[in-house]
Amino acid sequence: MTISWTISGGDVLWPTGFDTAPLNVVNGHIADTAEPAAQALDASGAWVLPGIIDLHGDGFEAIVQPRPGVHFPYDLAYAEADAQMIANGITTGYHALTVSWEPGLRDIAISRALVDSLEQTAPRLTCDTRLNIRWETFAIDHMDQVIDWLARRPGDILSINDHTSANHHLGEDSAKLKRMAARMGLSPVDAKAEIAKTWNRRNEVPSAIDHICARAASLGRPILSHDDATPKDRQTGRTRQVRVAEFPTTAAAARDARDAGEHVVLGGPNALRGESHNGALCATQAIESGLCSILASDYYYPAPLNAVFRLHDIGVLPLEQGWSLVSANPAAAVGLEDRGVLSLGKRADVLVVDKQTRKVRTVFVKGRKVLDRD
């Protein structure tokens, strides 16, 4: 049953900025007037903000497999990820599902099982949960599977990933190769051999990328690049209708995207920590330079919420501007026209965040109160 609400006493982030006017929720959407029978919620001492839209969250992989070789039931993992996302203000989340040539955690059979489980579990989840399908460009044999998912799952997005070109250089003693080997369930020697075998198909990759991008675009699905290193990378992606740059590794690549009016996604953990964990583009500096328009949770669900507050605290962006990094901008980037801002007719995905503790007190998803805590 849909309940109408009047949220008053707090600072509401309207498209024009903060104001103390009450926020009215009717039939799951923002309304101009309150219903006579609306329930009241006192938001005194709090900000009232649009729900966070997380375009790339692979933290759920660590919930599925918290230790190498230890898998938990996928429905349980999705439910746990859902609870963590809602607690951190994420009301629309895209799980980053890797479709790879790898065995182990990212084996195609596991990817299929994860999609099947999500389709069964999604009606019971609180967060509007979708998929960012991260297709590895060397997973040529799985293109048709990805296209099938995009065709029958209209809410999902596609990300073009190529980790093989860099990883085939890794030595057997590399820490990264050892992490990959553990994820693959192989020894470092065998993992190195598997990468080498895959690298031998590199001449097939460009036409495969052309094909999958053309099909995704014909279906109207947003396409994101991943780890662009140069302006040429971004320009090549643009010819394939890849319109969002996800985690570019250099300022030059990010600048090419922004100069073309495209959104750039960087990691919330990067912005929260003040640096990239792997020496890539610093999100804080990128935001200061206008080179980043979206923050995603990446591997840590608390990051988007807390990164925006850090940017506010250090004087990079005031809250009323910084919040667009996790709400309005991601909505615009992937065509979610019904959410991302608190304006008339939009979905009532709403957060009430305590000003003093910065703790999420209350969460509404499409007008339904799903979290309420002191």
Model confidence pTM above 0.85: yes
Measured distance CA(357)–CA(288) in Å, rounded? 26
Contact present, 118 and 78 (Cβ < 8 Å): yes
The CATH topology of domain 51-338 is TIM Barrel (3.20.20)
Instruction: Kindly report the CATH number that applies to the domain delimited by 1-50+339-374.
Output: 2.30.40.10
Q: Which amino acid is at 153?
A: R
- Order of strands, sheet of 263-267, starting from the edge strand that comes earlier in the sequence: 52-57, 90-99, 128-136, 157-161, 223-226, 244-246, 263-267, 294-296
Each residue's pLDDT expressed in tens, for the chain with a length of 374 residues: 568 999 999 999 999 999 999 999 999 999 999 999 999 999 999 999 999 999 999 999 899 989 877 889 999 999 999 999 999 999 999 999 999 999 988 899 999 999 999 999 999 999 999 999 999 999 999 999 999 999 999 999 999 999 999 898 898 889 999 999 988 999 999 999 999 999 999 999 999 999 999 999 999 999 999 999 999 999 999 999 999 999 999 999 999 999 999 999 999 999 999 988 777 899 999 999 999 999 999 999 999 999 999 999 999 999 999 999 999 999 999 999 999 999 999 999 999 999 999 999 999 999 999 999 97
| Pair 187, 122: CB distance under 8 Å | no
Q: Where are the domains of the chain?
A: 1-50+339-374, 51-338
Q: What contacts 84, CB < 8 A, 6 or more positions away?
A: 59, 63, 301
